[in-house]
Amino acid sequence: MSIEWLAAYLLLGAFVGFFAGLLGVGGGGIMVPVLTTMFAAQGFGHEHLVHLSLGTSMAAIVMTSISSLRAHHGHGAVRWDIVRGIAPGVLLGTFGGTFIASRVASAPLAIFFGCFMAYVALQMVLNVKPKPSRELPGSAGLFGVGGGIGLVSALVAIGGGSLSVPFMTWCNVNMRNAIGTSAAIGLPIALAGAAGYLINGWNSSGLPAWSVGYVYLPALVTISAVSSFTAPLGARLAHRLPVATLKKIFAAVLVLLSAKMLHTVFGS
């Protein structure tokens, strides 16, 4: 791997890590389109570009989530009761989602996901308050929500923050706690997703050297190395900004993610 590509992976890792800490997102929505472009420029086989990007992104999110989780836990922002309730569904949904990722058409998913993100972003920009009586669902409800978050996260290789944060704020969870808890939820998503893409790509032919399944190790190592350091920086900033500012930043990121996804699917 050349110095230029090494620098590009490191820069991507720094950017992804910072936003993971700031907003509780895993960064896959940023990594996947960027990695797809980078892999294509390096001459990797076209038939494996997307899956390799998805798998590498999920694996990179593991280290980013750990770093972000530790930072938010240090600030007392993680609601572990929510994590315990939602994690089983997240694990099942994410792992199962990797097995259908290569079989489902990406266009309908992109349209649904883009519309959903646009709606959530609008709600946050308008600062719509959730009903005071709304609370988190019981264990069965959290399991079901976790399964849905995990499934969508696997199909588009995100850490789940764009789904879990709006869900928790809708249920009257404090914004800072929602972001911190989302960082914790991102870890089982990343672990199950990385394992699923590794298994799915294990017997695939034509993958580049230094690949394990659909995970490209040079990109994984370099992105993870720097994102582990920048995630705590974003987490510290998250606890200094006012809630209204956090909502606007998160809304802007949601719009950018949805626009990039739609452009990737329909722009080629």
**pLDDT of 113 over the 80 cut:** no
Of residues 114 and 172, more confidence is placed in: 172
pLDDT at 76 over 90: no
Q: Please report the pLDDT score of residue 188 as a whole number.
A: 92
Question: pLDDT digit string (tens) for 207-224?
Answer: 888 899 999 999 999 988
Asked if the model's pLDDT at residue 29 lies above 70, the reply is no
How high is the pLDDT of residue 87? 92
- Across 13-22, 94-103, 109-118, 139-148, the highest mean pLDDT is recorded for 139-148
pLDDT for position 199: 92
Q: Which residue has the higher pLDDT, 242 or 202?
A: 202
**Most confident segment among 116-120, 159-163, 166-170, 192-196:** 192-196
Least confident of 1-5, 12-16, 64-68: 64-68
Stretch 150-169: mean pLDDT, rounded? Answer: 80
pLDDT over 70 at 83, yes or no: yes
**For the chain, what is the HEC assignment?**
CCHHHHHHHHHHHHHHHHHHHHHCCCCHHHHHHHHHHHHHHCCCCHHHHHHHHHHHHHHHHHHHHHHHHHHHHHCCCCCHHHHHHHHHHHHHHHHHHHHHCCCCCHHHHHHHHHHHHHHHHHHHHCCCCCCCCCCCCCHHHHHHHHHHHHHHHHHHCCCCHHHHHHHHHHCCCCHHHHHHHHHHHHHHHHHHHHHHHHHHCCCCCCCCCCEECCEEHHHHHHHHHHHHHHHHHHHHHHCCCCHHHHHHHHHHHHHHHHHHHHHHHHCC
